[in-house]
Amino acid sequence: SAVISQKPSRDICQRGTSLTIQCQVDSQVTMMFWYRQQPGQSLTLIATANQGSEATYESGFVIDKFPISRPNLTFSTLTVSNMSPEDSSIYLCSVDRGDTQYFGPGTRLTVL
């Protein structure tokens, strides 16, 4: 398995501001993934983050809105920029270990 932590666990933010979410893994991994879960919905992949290269974004997600950093093999950040109430969601990071993906506890974001 994998031990993954996220900070903050939750936050309430004002529209127009930005929030950076941190994801820490207990051992080195090649790829880290960021997901969004809107209220009452399933998880949608935002982007895949490889160390040493730019993140790969899924359709509907852009770097200006969700910049991602991957400075080393155990850490990544996701920034939600210029937030609006529609960005209120749970944001989760994950890693794959063998064939299995393991998820962090999530960051619950509320935008007022």
Partner 1 sequence: SQQGEEDPQALSIQEGENATMNCSYKTSINNLQWYRQNSGRGLVHLILIRSNEREKHSGRLRVTLDTSKKSSSLLITASRAADTASYFCATALYSSASKIIFGSGTRLSIRP
CA dist 38 and 87 (Å) reads: 8
Question: CB 47 → partner 1: shortest distance, Å?
Answer: 10
Let me know if 107 is exposed, middle or buried by CB neighbors in 10 A (0-12, 13-18, 19+): buried
Question: CB 43 → partner 1: shortest distance, Å?
Answer: 4
Question: CB 14 → partner 1: shortest distance, Å?
Answer: 22
Binding footprint of partner 1 on the chain (CB under 8 A): 1, 31, 33, 37, 42-45, 48, 59, 90, 92, 96, 99-106, 108
For residue 35 the two structure tokens come to 């997901």
